[in-house]
Amino acid sequence: MDGNGRWAEQRGLPRLQGHQAGIEPVRACVRHASRAGVEVLTLFAFSSENWRRPAAEIEGLMALFADALRAELAELDANGVRLRFIGDRARLSPALERATADAAAKTADNAGLVLVIAFGYGGRWDLAQAAQRLAAEVRAGELRPEDIDETTLASRLQTADLPEVDLLIRTGGEQRISNFLLWDSAYSELFFTELAWPEFGRDAFDRALAFYAGRQRRFGRTREQIEAVTC
């Protein structure tokens, strides 16, 4: 969800107002994803690299996130949305840590859209913590090094029980994935748009879904192999 700060700066507004303007597109996309039959929607809310931003902006973002979570939780729960949070929570305030844990617990039994919030998350961090967990298991004699394969590593990621990413949408005009879900996005279709996140609504989401629907996903196979299977 990129481009909040630049959207605000272009309008002579404080960056935090750009982040505030980004709340409505979140609401719209969650509702539209549910209607469109999307099973899992992951939002990159705050990256591990975002901790490098000015302290005042970080403080404002934390407060904004906490307020939005309180304001939206009842509606999300009423609509069957199940909340998940991934990322390093060690630097969160105790109050925000409790709020995310309580929100996840409150919606844990819901059967609708799984809404994953990546907060304090980085793809490299996730791979590193998975490697640490595997190393600890090897040291404890619970796992042999030769038994570690792609499946074993994937099972120690924070996204272990989630499907791999089908479609990755990047707003704000940048064309990179910026350390987001590196393992899970290995075969993602990538959709880039010049729209800043506050400008991204239902029509833009539909364009991204149409782009995805037009892709042929081969996963290393040839076009002929895919067509032979699907015809």
Alpha helices in 84-161 (DSSP H): 94-106, 123-139, 150-154
Q: Does residue 103 share a domain with residue 129?
A: no
Domain identity same for 97 and 127: no
pLDDT over 80 (residue 230): no
Q: Judge whether 157 and 183 are in contact, CB under 8 Å.
A: yes
- pLDDT tens for 7-39 read 999 999 999 999 999 999 999 999 999 999 999
> Are 114 and 226 in the same domain?
yes
Encode pLDDT of 78-116 as tens digits.
Answer: 999 999 999 998 889 999 999 999 999 999 999 999 999
Q: Quick one: 80 and 192 in the same domain?
A: yes
Do 149 and 40 share a structural domain?
A: no
Active site (annotated) includes residue 50:
yes
Active-site pick, 2, 4, 126, 184:
2
Residues 72, 88: one domain? yes
Question: What pLDDT is stored for residue 130 in this prediction?
Answer: 98
| C-alpha to C-alpha distance for 35 and 66, rounded to whole angstroms | 26
Of residues 230 and 53, more confidently modeled: 53
Domain count, the chain: 2
Q: Which of 50, 79, 110, 179 is catalytic?
A: 50
User: Each residue of 191-227: pLDDT tens digit?
Assistant: 999 999 999 999 999 999 999 999 988 777 777 777 7
Report the amino acid identity of residue 91. R
Residue 216 belongs to domain with CATH number: 3.40.1180.10
pLDDT at position 231 is: 56
Residue ending a domain, among 143, 162, 181, is 162
Same domain, 105 and 186: yes
% of the chain surpassing 70 pLDDT: 98
pLDDT on residue 229? 65
The whole-angstrom separation of Cα 42 and Cα 85 is 9
Q: Which residues pair with 167 in a beta bridge?
A: 189
CB of 120 within 8 A of CB of 92? yes
Q: 129-181: per-residue pLDDT in tens?
A: 999 999 999 999 999 999 999 999 999 999 999 999 999 999 999 999 999 99
Question: Are both 113 and 221 inside the same structural domain?
Answer: yes
Domain C-terminal end among 162, 188, 212: 162
| Domain stops at, among 132, 162, 192 | 162
Residue 218 to residue 226: CA distance in whole angstroms:
7
Asked if 129 and 191 sit in the same domain, the reply is: no
Mean pLDDT for the chain overall? 95
Active site (annotated) includes residue 110: no
What pTM was estimated for this model as a whole? 0.92
Same domain for 226 and 139, yes or no, is no
Residues 146 and 117 in one domain: no
Q: What is the pLDDT of residues 167-189, one digit of tens each?
A: 999 999 999 999 999 999 999 99
pLDDT attached to residue 15: 93
- With H, G, I as helix, E, B as strand and everything else as coil, classify residue 190: strand
Q: Identify the domain containing residue 147 by its residue range.
A: 123-162
Give one DSSP letter per residue of 62-90, joined into a string. Answer: HHHHHHHHHHHHHHHHHTTPEEEEES--T
Based on the domain organization, do 101 and 38 belong to the same domain?
Answer: yes
